Amino acid sequence: MQRRTFLQSLAAAGALAAMPMSIRSSLAAQSGAVSVKDLPALEGDLTLYLGRGEGGLYEKVLDAIRQRNPKLNLQIRRGATAALANTIVAEAQAGVRRADLFWAVDTGSIGMITDAGLARPLPEGFNEQLKPGFRYPRWSPVTGRIRTLPYNTERLSADKVPDDIMALADSDLSIGWAPAYASFQSFLTAMRILEGEKATLSWLKGVSKHAKSYAGELGVVMAVERGEVDVGFANHYYTLRLKAGKPDANVDLAYTNSDAGCLVNASGILALSDGDLPFNFMRYLLSAEVQAYLSSEAYEIPLVSGVKSPEGLPELATLTPPDLDLRKLADLRPTLNLMREAGVL
C-alpha cells in the first residue's frame, strides 16, 4: 500500500530536502517495522543527552521528529558518549535528574547506566520488533555496526585475509589500526572478555610489530585503499561510505568468524524518567522510516525486523558475531591497562 513516509512529508516542508529520490522511494517499500504514521504524537518536555553521532545524521533525525511533533519541546545536550554517561551517574549521585533520555553511540556507556540502576525498564512488548539477540530489558539498540577487516584488493584477495582475528598477530600482513579510537577499544574489550587478558596482551604486542597507527578508522580505511597497508581494523560503514563516493576504490571487506573481529556493537537509547513520553520517543527511532534512513545515509545496520541492511553489506543473519552481552563492554579500564602495558597507548 502506497503511503507518504515520515521523511518524505518533512522533505515537502523543507527538511531533509536534499535526500535523493531513490532513498525516499526505498523508505516507502520497507515492511515489518512500525511506521511513524502509526505512532502516537509526542507532546510535552523532554531532555535528551546525545552522544556524538554520525556526522550530524542523528541530528537530522531529531529535527525531523520535532517537525512532525510541534507540541514536543525537545532539549538536547550534546557531548562525547562516555562523558555524558559519567555526567548522568554523577547527577544521580547528587540527587539530580536532568536527562529523560540517553542516546549513546556505544554500548559500553549504556552498560554504565544500566549497571548503576538508572535506566527505566522497557514496557512489555516494546522490543519485540527488534531482531533476536538485540532485546534487552532496560535499553533499546537503535542501529548496529560490525567490526570488519578492510583489505586492499590490489594487494590481497579475500581468501588471503585470515578469518580468525587472533591469527593477525602472527601474519606477515601490514596492518592499519587506530588504538586511541573508541570503537577499537570496545573491540579490544570484547577480545579481552572472550580470549582472556594474557592472549589479548600477546595479540597487541604481535600486531604492533607490523601495524601503522591512524587517528581514526576512516583514516585506516583510506590508508588501506591507498595501499599504505594491506588490511585494517574498522567498523563496516567507513568502507561503505568510501566506496559510495568512489565505486572503483581498491578496498573491500572481509569478516572473521565468531570472535571479537566480527563483533556487532550498537548505538542505543534508554529512558531515565518515568511516563509514556520517553518510551514513545524511543519508538520513533525504531520506526521503519528512521531505520531505513540511517541504513541508507549512515550505512548503519538496522536492528528492527523488515528493514534492509546497507547496500554492500551482507545480511546480519549470514555473519557470525560472537555471543556477548554488549553491556559488558563498559568495563574499559582493564583494556586500557593492557594497551599501556603493550606500549600502544
Q: Which residues are annotated as a binding site for Fe cation?
A: 237-238
| Rounded Cα distance, 303 and 136, in Å | 13
Q: For residue 47, what are the β-bridge partners?
A: 75
DSSP letter string, 46-113: EEEEEE--GGGHHHHHHHHHHHH-TTEEEEEEEE-HHHHHHHHHHHHHTT----SEEEESSHHHHHHH
Copy the grid coordinates of residue 18: 536534499
| Rounded Cα distance, 155 and 242, in Å | 18
Copy the grid coordinates of residue 329: 563492554
**Residue keyed to cell 533520555:** 101
Q: In angstroms, what CA-CA distances link 313 with 16, 241, 242, 270, 304?
A: 25, 11, 13, 27, 16
Q: What amino acid is encoded at 268 in this protein? A: G
Is residue 273 within 8 A of residue 97, CB to CB? The reply is yes
Is residue 270 within 8 A of residue 5, CB to CB? The reply is no
Is residue 170 within 8 A of residue 156, CB to CB? The reply is no
Other Cβ atoms within 10 Å of 96 Cβ, number: 10
Copy the grid coordinates of residue 215: 587517528
Binding residues: 237-238
Is residue 234 within 8 A of residue 256, CB to CB? The reply is no
**Residue keyed to cell 532496560:** 138
Is residue 101 within 8 A of residue 279, CB to CB? The reply is no
